[in-house]
A and B are shown apart, each in its own frame.
Chain A
Amino acid sequence: MSGTGSIRVEGLYKRFGDFLAVNDVTFTAEEGSITALLGPSGSGKSTVLRMIAGLEEPTAGRIFMEGAEHTYKSVQERRVGFVFQHYALFRHMTVQDNITFGLSVRKESKEFQKERLSELLELVQLGPFRDRYPDQLSGGQRQRVALARALAPRPRVLLLDEPFGALDARVRQELRRWLDELHRELGVTSLLVTHDQEEAMELANTVVVMHEGGVEQVGTPAEIYDHPSTAFVAGFVGAANVLAGHVVGGSIQFGDDRVAGAGHLEEGVAAQAFVRPHDVKLAGWEPREGSVVAVVDRVSRLGWLSQLTLRLPDGQQLLAQVPKDETEGVVEGVKVVVDLRNAKAFPAEAAARSAEAVV
């Protein structure tokens, strides 16, 4: 399935009454890649997807596919494959009628429809279910039918709106891996809307993080995780501790302790440091310059990791995840010495705007 194209949106806006759902969104989804629109619910990501499909009309902005402007083209002309969150299968049609719908609409020959149908049934591994109705299938099977239906007319781009949102964790994982393989095989340009950062990180080449209708950051999964450009991204993508303090000499000071990484902030302003739990390292028992002494409140095991709930001298809480064999002698009540690495500092007012950090 070659010949699928890139997508570019420029300065996209969407207003519903008084509510600005999409606020100046610009990004490019490269040909043959998977791009994820990642954000909490209500961040406008689905609206962007629906505008690209032509199901919603943008208030302002432009949409390009394969370099040609599509802003005012009809849904039918855009030739996109759309996979809906709740499948949106035609409930009165069998699996095979669902899959061939897009072909019969385009008046393809019966032989071609049959050929394509068996191709797709094999691709989504649903051959034995071709005569079933949607309500006789499991959630995962329905989503695979939805995908086969979207792919049948060989769309130029594939748009997926929370495709695994309604499935349980195990099926999600399975389908995610399967979609990844499928994409490697077909190479169709895909745009995936999700609120699940793991999903975005695992599948996407490029992640567009959205918040309150706007774009917070565009980058590869590694860039988004290692170098969040806003407090929101730092808090939303991956777990993070948030330590409140103020800037002193390029560090953030909280109580008598400091953490480095605020060189770009003005001296004296209130600021927050984002520290990921795995960036909290146990550093022996002797306090050193730059290390922090904390009391262990709780120790719990997460598989091969130990999760420590620590209390800093100024009362703030700090979660640490360390390999379990490094935790000898660490029990509730003792004082430990930790290093805080890779802290990201943001001015407090910007951080306050963001959602609460997920820990």
Chain B
Amino acid sequence: MSVAATDTRLGQERLHQHRRRRLLRTALLGVSLAYLAVLLLAPLAGILWVAFRHGFGDIAQTFSQPDVRHAFLLTAIIAVVTLAVTTFFGVIVAWVLARQRFRGKSLLNALVDLPLAVSPVTVGLIAVLLFGRGGWFEPWFSAQGIQVIFALPSMIMVTTFICIPFVIREVAPVLEELGTSEEDAARTLGASSIHSFRRVTLPNIRWGLFYGIALTTARAIGEIGAVLIVSGSVQGQTETATLYIFRALEERQTESAYVVALTLAAVSVVLLGTIEFFKRRSSRRDGS
């Protein structure tokens, strides 16, 4: 009898434990969902609501403004140039970091993260210091008739600087994990280094590279701090989409500001979503 009683007590104990564990799991899930809902979904919903409050009229009205169109054009130009530069050099730096051993490698590794550690405003200020009136490089550029500060060159320059880490940080670990054996195999089969990179390495790092590109794009079109400092924010001339939002808010054109903000957010979300979609589809097919 006492044995049976012990059994029941043990059973109840186990049941209690099981319930407690389930409760904890539910609580943690609830916290995560609430956290993400408050910080991610609520603002997004807010933007959506304000932008569409008066139907599509606000959107059409906003995009009919020449300033808005010019701002988007400028943002696009900056993003494309930034993307080209950071992708090309990013892959090279990632390759060097993953494959080569040299003195000062850890220094280079730390340096890559510098743009993430420094405030964009500081980056802008440094650019002004170097290229602005009385700056070190200003005389040379003005002798060539090139205006850097308060013009497109400096805006591209600071955005590129800020976007340096993304491609490198996405691609280097993939390269490292990949190892050199497939590249070695390609070489023994007669492939030149370029050929082996194009047909063996590149397809293997493509998802890392695409992620890096997507993050770079998102960062480039969203950058404001550094661009604000170096551009001078001249309406219709050096005003990017983010700078437009800034001015529109100050001038109480709330709807226009939200429409532009929503467009920028949509571009980033669509970009990341597309990559995720293709990645899933391809991993179903070839398992890579």
Contact B191 A105 (CB under 8 A): yes
Instruction: Kindly provide the distance from the CB of A276 to the nearest chain B CB, expressed in whole angstroms.
Output: 38
Give the segment of B38-46, B113-121, B177-185, B254-262 that binds chain A.
B177-185
Are A88 and B287 also in contact (CB < 8 A) when A76-B190, A102-B190, A105-B195 are? no
Of A76, A81, A82, A153, the contact of B184 (CB 8 Å cutoff): A82
Chain B's closest residue to A136 (CB) is B287
For chain A residues 272-290, which have a beta carbon within 8 Å of chain B? none
In the bound complex, residues from chain A placing their C-beta under 8 Å from that of B288 are 91-92, 133, 135
- Within B163-217, the residues touching A (CB, 8 Å) are 181-182, 184-192, 195, 199-200, 203-204
**A86 CA to B185 CA, complexed, in Å:** 11
Number of interface residues of A (CB under 8 A): 28
Contact A88 B189, CB 8 Å, known A133-B286, A133-B287, A136-B287: no
Which residues of B have CB within 8 Å of A89? Answer: 182, 185
Evaluate contact between A88 and B190: CB separation under 8 angstroms.
no
The CA of A86 and the CA of B181, in the complex, are separated in Å by 8
| A interface footprint on B147-165 (CB within 8 Å = 1, 0 otherwise) | 0000000000000000000
**CB contact list, A59-114 vs B, under 8 A:** 75-76, 78-82, 84, 86, 88-92, 101-102, 105-106
Q: Mark A145-185, 1 if CB is under 8 A from B, else 0.
A: 00001101100000000000000000000000000000000
Q: Known: A84-B181, A92-B204, A133-B286. Is A101-B187 also a contact (CB below 8 A)?
A: no
Q: Could you say which residues of chain B place their CB within 8 Å of the CB of A53?
A: 188
Q: How far is the CA of A80 from the CA of B185 in the complex (A)?
A: 11
B286 / chain A contacts, CB cutoff of 8 Å: 91-92, 133, 135
Set of chain B residues within 8 Å of A101, measured between Cβ atoms: 186, 189, 191, 199
For the complex, is A55 an interface residue (Cβ under 8 Å from B)?
yes
Scoring B181, B185, B195, B203 by chain A CB atoms within 10 A of each residue's CB, the highest score goes to B185
> Across the A-B interface, how many residue pairs have beta carbons closer than 8 Å?
68
Please pick, from A78, A88, A150, the residue contacting B182 in the complex, using a CB distance under 8 A: A88
| A86, A90, A150 — most chain B CB neighbours (10 Å) | A90
- Residues A81 and B188 in contact, CB atoms below 8 Å apart: yes
Q: With both chains docked as a complex, state the minimum distance between the C-beta of A50 and any C-beta of chain B, in angstroms.
A: 8
How many B residues, CB 8 Å from partner?
Answer: 19
A55 in complex: contacting residue of B187, B189, B192, CB < 8 Å: B187
Q: Collect the chain B residues with CB atoms within 8 Å of residue A135's CB.
A: 286-288
Assembly CA distance A133 to B287 (angstroms): 8
Verify B191–A88 contact, CB threshold 8 A: no
- Closest beta carbon of chain B to A74's beta carbon, Å: 8
Closest to B285 in A: A133
Task: Give A296 to B199 CA distance when docked, in angstroms.
Answer: 64
Contact call B195/A82, Cβ cutoff below 8 A: no
Q: Which of B184, B192, B195, B203 is A84 in contact with, Cβ under 8 Å?
A: B184
B188: nearest chain-A partner, CB-CB: A82
One of B181, B185, B189, B203 near A153 (C-beta < 8 A): B189
A82 to B183, CA, bound (A): 12
- Enumerate B2-19 residues with CB–CB distance to A below 8 Å: none
* CB–CB B181/A75 < 8 A: no
Digit string of B244-288 for contact with A (CB within 8 Å is 1, else 0)? 000000000000000000000000000000000000000000111
B185's closest neighbor in chain A, by CB? A88
Binary contact readout A19-45 vs B (1 if CB under 8 angstroms, 0 otherwise):
000000000000000000000000000
- Which residues of chain B are near A153, meaning CB under 8 Å? 189-190
A75 touches B204 (CB 8 A): no
Q: Quick check: A88 and B181 within 8 Å, CB to CB?
A: yes
State how many angstroms separate the Cβ of B192 from the closest Cβ of chain A. Answer: 7
Q: Tell me whether A90 and B190 are in contact (CB under 8 A).
A: no
Closest to A97 in B: B199
- Bound CA–CA A133/B204 (angstroms): 14
Chain B residues within 8 Å of A102, by CB: 189-190
A90 proximity list for chain B (CB < 8 A): 182, 185-186, 199-200
Q: Are A80 and B188 in contact (CB under 8 A)?
A: yes
Contact: B181 with A82, CB < 8 Å? no
**Known contacts A91-B204, A91-B288, A92-B204: does B185 contact A76 (CB below 8 Å)?**
no
Please state if B287 and A149 are interface contacts (CB–CB under 8 Å): no
Output the least CB separation between A141 and chain B (Å): 15
Are A55 and B188 CB-contacts (below 8 A) given A91-B204, A133-B287? yes
Q: How far is the CB of B238 from chain A (nearest CB, A)?
A: 44
**Chain A residues in 8 Å Cβ range of B190:** 76, 79, 102, 105-106, 153
**Cα distance A55–B183 in the bound complex, in angstroms:** 10
Closest partner residue, chain A, to B178 (CB atom)? A91
Taking CB atoms, residues of chain A closer than 8 Å to B192 are: 76
Q: How far is the CB of B50 from chain A (nearest CB, A)?
A: 45
Q: Nearest chain-B residue to A79 (Cβ)?
A: B190
A-B contact pairs, 24 of them (CB 8 A): A53-B188, A55-B187, A76-B187, A76-B190, A76-B191, A78-B188, A79-B190, A81-B188, A82-B185, A84-B181, A88-B182, A91-B204, A91-B288, A92-B204, A101-B186, A101-B191, A102-B189, A105-B186, A106-B190, A133-B288, A135-B286, A135-B288, A149-B185, A153-B190
Q: Using A84-B185, A86-B181, A149-B189 as known contacts, list a sample of 10 further A-B pairs with CB atoms less than 8 Å apart, ordered by residue number in A.
A: A55-B188, A76-B187, A76-B192, A79-B190, A82-B185, A105-B189, A105-B191, A105-B195, A135-B288, A136-B287
B-to-A contact residues, CB < 8 Å: 181-182, 184-192, 195, 199-200, 203-204, 286-288
* Closest A-B pairs by Cβ, 4 of them: A102-B189, A88-B181, A82-B188, A88-B185
